[in-house]
Chains A and B, each alone.
Chain A
Amino acid sequence: GAGVSQSPSNKVTEKGKDVELRCDPISGHTALYWYRQRLGQGLEFLIYFQGNSAPDKSGLPSDRFSAERTGESVSTLTIQRTQQEDSAVYLCASKTSGASNEQFFGPGTRLTVL
């Protein structure tokens, strides 16, 4: 079956603009995660969705960042009033609700804020 997909693959925007990033998880995966990865760095957890439970937003770096998920499908990550420091690859991952925490990652969206 299809893996996790993300769009766009690349996004260049001007400082101050809003951007919206999309993630389509693997069908049937109840958990969905967003991460940020700056150049040469590890992954920073941003937000986690699990079914209909309240999302874990503890990793969102500021109130300019928000995310939504419709049921157990598509998720969008929105960054308002983008700053140059927001430039990074944004990765989405999904997994089943089982005990194993193996996550399946999408290819990421490379965001460049000029």
Chain B
Amino acid sequence: SQQGEEDPQALSIQEGENATMNCSYKTSINNLQWYRQNSGRGLVHLILIRSNEREKHSGRLRVTLDTSKKSSSLLITASRAADTASYFCATDEWGAQKLVFGQGTRLTINP
């Protein structure tokens, strides 16, 4: 079963704007990860945030984690057309070795 739920399901913005996607989950987690998927094929790992971290940056990406609300957000600043893709959050429960993925947010950057 899917634990994570992304919001919104689809997002369309102009190039140069910031894009924010949210993810909610249900159980206690070890860490939360964000992945990107182009054209419905392989996923690429973007960033991992551990349960004891609140914010993390990587280039134009900023991830926050609020374990009290069981939610995370992914911010992409200064978006580019090449950022058009689907973005998924994934969580792993303590003691588990498998990731549980959300349904994804389809991001479209308009030139």
Q: Which residue of A lies closest to B88 (CB)?
A: A42
A108 adjacent to B97 (CB under 8 Å) = no
Number of interface residues of B (CB under 8 A): 24
* Contact residues of B: prevailing secondary structure: strand
A65 at the binding interface (Cβ < 8 Å): no
Assess whether A103 is in contact with B97, with CB atoms less than 8 Å apart.
no
- Judge whether A56 and B97 touch: CB under 8 Å: yes
Chain B residue with the shortest CB-CB distance to A89: B40
- For the complex, is B48 an interface residue (Cβ under 8 Å from A)? yes
Give the CA-CA distance A10 to B31 in the complex, in Å.
Answer: 33
Contact B33 A108 (CB under 8 A): no
Residues from 80 to 114 in A contacting B, C-beta threshold 8 Å: 89, 91, 93, 100-108
- Measured between beta carbons, the chain A residues less than 8 angstroms from B100 are 45
Which residues 28-74 in A have Cβ within 8 Å of B in the complex? Answer: 31, 33, 35, 37, 39, 41-45, 48, 50, 56, 59
Closest to A46 in B: B98
- Flag whether B85 is at the interface (Cβ < 8 A): no
Known A41-B103, A42-B103; judge A104-B98 contact (CB<8 A). no
Q: Which residue of B lies closest to A92 (CB)?
A: B42
Among the listed B30, B41, B101, which residue makes an inter-chain contact with A101, where contact means beta carbons less than 8 Å apart? B30
Option from A31, A101, A108 in Cβ contact (under 8 Å) with B31:
A101
Within 8 A of A (CB), among B62-104: 88, 90, 92, 97-104
Q: Which residues on B are within 8 Å of A, measured CB to CB?
A: 2, 4, 30-31, 33, 35, 40-45, 48, 88, 90, 92, 97-104
Given pairs A103-B45, A105-B42, A107-B41, 10 additional interface contacts (CB within 8 A): A33-B99, A42-B4, A42-B101, A42-B102, A42-B103, A43-B90, A48-B97, A56-B97, A59-B98, A103-B99
